[in-house]
Structure 1
Amino acid sequence: MVEITEKVELIKFDEEKYLKEGESIYTQRSEVEAVVDKIAKEGYSNIFLLGIGGTEFEFAQFEYLVKKNSTVEIYSINAADANTQRPRELNKDSLVITASASGNTVEIVEAAKWIVEEGIRVVAFTKKSGPLGKVAQNVIEANVTTGQCEYSYVLQSFLIYGLLNKRGEFDKYEKFADQIKGTFKNLLEIRKAFEPRADTIAKSIYDAPYTIFTGSGSLWGETLLFTMCILEEMQWVRTRPVTSSQFFHGTLELIEPGVPVFIIKGEDEFRKQDTRVEEFCKKINAEYYVLDTQEFAFDGIDPEFRELIVPWIVTSLLTERLAAHYEVYTKHNLQYRRYYRQFEY
């Protein structure tokens, strides 16, 4: 991990509040585990992760990791697509897991209504008082005021990995859940280690005509989350997200002076694909930047659990820190939208 040799202050970030809210999130472990016990006792035939936009991308890590470590059938479905064409595998014994920070994401609320009407169980990470919270049979509301992605990830990991434990597929769940108590202190230090680089990178590429972003495996969802939900929606920055494998079948021809490549390099079996993109960029002398998660330590977590938290590292660095530095140079407020949620469409 990069060593911090001097005091680093994170711009536009309240450290004390972050740690306090992180502690609050962790105290909800027993609440989520009670839902796990209930669902496991009832049984289920398969799992659907229902999202759209950011929520769909945030769920991607869980779909990937559950498919890798469990025999349960799990599907990630776009809410708008589900409303248009109901998945054949969705049945009365399915378990649907969804999320909406606002509680009123139009497509998700619409989907939840007909899913519940058909007697299918829904677990929603949302506000209990919101439209979605009033529809879902099981609601988990984060007791925090801010929307850090990793708050959701910790709560969702208690649910999803807890269910795997009940299936006999994650016997070390208790140990994992105990160890992630230090998540927020770790992610704070990781942010500080990355802060100088975040400024350098943002300053170098914020005004590029567009930037190519590659990712793979458990980090593909985080790649889409940052490029589409942050840079495109919140910064109006043009991006080209592409998986590390598909990069070599079209996108590589778009590399030219002024078009940087940002490589999000993970630690799973897809790392060799990320490395291939990096080596190609070296070979042609392209402008490229690498975010390698192996550079960042996560104290207190056993190596066997690291694959489960690597996406949390990436989201804290990109969606939170790099985004803040883009905002400095673009001078475009991250909260300002022209169209998104501004009127009916």
Structure 2
Amino acid sequence: MVQTNQEIKLTSMKKEHAEQIDNALNAIAKKDVQSIFFVACGGSMASLSSGDYFVSREVAVPSATYTSNEFIHRSPKTLGENSIVILRSHSGTTPETVEAVKFAKEKGALTVAISMDEESPLCAAADYVIHYNYKDGSDAIDGEAGMYYTFIFKLLNQLEPNEKYERFVNQLQGLQSLIDINVNEYTAKGDAFGKKYKREKLIYTMASGPYYAHAYSFTSCLLMEMLWIHSNAIHSGEYFHGPFEVTDYDVPFLMVMGEGASRPLDQRALDFVAKFSDKVEVVDVAEFNYGQTDEDLREYFGSILASPVLRVYADGLAEHTGHPLSVRRYMWKMEY
């Protein structure tokens, strides 16, 4: 079991950030919300889909995650004046997402843009903006995870009030300490992972529940985009419906064991893959250090902490392959 006696530093969100969240929530409170859409691309879509998971599980309002371009071309029938569309682009310049916010507004939806750049085209086009600080020395509560999860859980509490949502938002004030503690505890494991798998040309990732978004992001953004390693994100519940046929003694798998409702799916998949592959690595979210976090809130925090922990595994690969995570062949270098 993890140790829980480390000192957790609490930090309050900056006033201007708290006001941005409250402004969006006040506007949403005036609407008869009948649908919520989460719209973005790549890693931004993955981060939003974790929130979608909790919205769909916790409240009775239908929600869905879309990649930006398909959102426009599919044009969901339920999209309209009673819809909330939450969009994210790290830079705020992703063309498909900028077009998606314009499309949503044309349909009458209330739009909320999440980005690190308040002056970006995405934020300029949206009804409301939630800006997060990035790599400027700010505490995590004002970063992308802190801002997004504060907004999502305040939204949940607004739609269907529950005291646990308030406790979660309050305990988010210790997020930076929890991230620092877990990154420190997993650094050696990430380095060992990189050393062991540095020559692999393919690594599969597997997860379920809100952690499937992390498997997707790790696969698409870290392994494929940044490290040029072939990969595929496999949902633990879908593993036995085709993908398990590729399992063999020399096929690598990174298994993210979730904390929460879908953990039995992960355990079933892990029990099988470990029998036939000699290259199975496990990141067990239940073993993260949660400090003094309330037991019933750990699933929510686990979803946040999984991202920085998995980044440590990518850093390990980058170190031992000599391939910096910043290198690209095509992205930002040509028209596409």
Counterpart check, 1:41 vs 2:30: yes
Root mean square deviation, CA, Å: 2.4
TM-score normalised by L of structure 2? 0.91
Aligned ranges 1:100-115 → 2 under 5 Å: 100-115=89-104
Cα displacement (A) at 1:251: 2.0
Partner of 1:167: 159
Matching residue of 2:221: 229
How far does residue 86 in structure 1 lie from its aligned partner after superposition?
0.6
Q: Is 1:254 aligned with 2:239?
A: no
Q: Name the counterpart of 1:338.
A: 329
- With 109-118 and 22-31 compared, the bigger mean Cα shift is at 22-31
For residues 7-45 of structure 1, what are the alpha-carbon distances to aligned partners after superposition, in whole Å with 9 as ceiling and x for unaligned? xxxxxxxxxxxx99x957565334313321232133422
Give yes or no for contact 1:234–1:333 (8 Å, CA) kept in 2: yes
1:299 equivalent to 2:320? Answer: no
Q: Give the 3-state SS of the residue equivalent to 1:191 in structure 2.
A: helix
| Aligned match for 1:290, one of 234, 258, 282 | 282
Residue number in structure 2 paired with 1:263: 255
* Structure 1 SS opposite 2:229: coil
Would you say the 8 A contact 1:263–1:291 is kept in 2? Answer: yes
Rate the CA distance shift 1:198–1:221 in 2: closer, same or farther, 3 A: same
- 1:137 maps onto 2:137 in alignment: no
Q: 1:54 aligns with which of 43, 62, 66?
A: 43
Q: Write the mapping of 1:234-245 to structure 2, written as runs, cut at 5 A.
A: 234-245=226-237
Structure 1 residues 148, 250: CA separation in 2 closer, same or farther (over 3 Å shift)? farther
Between stretches 215-224 and 263-272, larger displacement belongs to 263-272
Decide whether aligned partners of structure 1 residues 183 and 242 sit closer, same or farther in structure 2, where only a CA change above 3 A counts: same
Determine which of 79, 98, 120 is the counterpart of 2:68.
79
Distance in 1 of aligned mates of 2:333 and 2:298? 40
- Determine which of 198, 202, 219 is the counterpart of 2:194: 202
> Which string of whole-angstrom CA distances, capped at 9 and with x for unpartnered residues, describes residues 233-284 of structure 1?
0110111221112212222222234321111101222211211122113323
Counterparts of 1:343 and 1:282, CA distance in 2: 42
Distance in 1 between the 2:135 and 2:187 partners?
24
Instruction: Provide structure 1 residue ranges, at least 5 long, that are not aligned to the other structure.
Output: 5-18
Task: State the one-letter code of the partner of 1:131.
Answer: P
Kept in 2: contact 1:281–1:287 (CA 8 A)? no
What is the TM-score when the length of structure 1 is the normalising length?
Answer: 0.88
Structure 2 match to 1:98: 87
The equivalent residue for 1:155 is 147
| One-letter identity of the residue aligned with 2:313 | L
CA gap 1:52/1:303 in 2 versus in 1, 3 angstroms? same
Q: Offset of 1:154 from its aligned partner?
A: 1.8
Match of 1:190 among 182, 186, 197: 182
Superposed CA offset, 1:166-189 (max 9, x none) = 223433332221111001101100
Structure 1 173/282 Cα, relative in aligned 2: closer, same or farther at 3 Å?
closer
CA distance in 1, matches of 2:111, 2:78: 15
Aligned to 2:318: 327
The alignment covers a number of residue pairs equal to 329
Is the contact made by 1:63 and 1:76 (CA closer than 8 Å) also made in structure 2? yes
Find the residue that maps to 1:239 and give its secondary structure: coil
Distance 1:144 1:23, change over 3 A: farther
* 1:153/1:312 contact within 8 Å kept: yes
Assess, with a 3 A threshold, how the Cα gap between structure 1 residues 240 and 267 changes in structure 2: closer, same or farther: same
Cα distance, 1:72–1:234 mapped onto 2, change above 3 Å:
same
Instruction: Give deviations 1:75-109, integer Å, cap 9, x for gaps.
Output: 11111101222111101221110111111001100
Look up the SS of the partner of 2:232 in the other structure: strand
Give the structure 1 partner of residue 305 of structure 2.
Answer: 313
Q: Percent identity?
A: 27
| Offset at residue 117 of structure 1 (A) | 3.2
Q: Provide the secondary structure at the position in 1 that maps to 2:76.
A: coil
Of 201-210 and 101-110, more deviation after overlay is shown by 201-210
Distance, in Å, in 1 between the alignment partners of 2:53 and 2:146 is 16
Regions of 4+ moved over 6 Å = 147-150
Distance 2:222 2:248 in 1: 24
> Which structure 2 segments of 5+ residues have no match?
none
- Paired residues of 1:255 and 1:286 also in contact (CA < 8 A): no
Cα 1:315/1:26, change in 2 over 3 Å: farther
Q: Which residue of 2 aligns with 1:67?
A: 56
Following superposition, the deviation at residue 49 of structure 1 comes to 0.6
SS at match of 2:129: strand
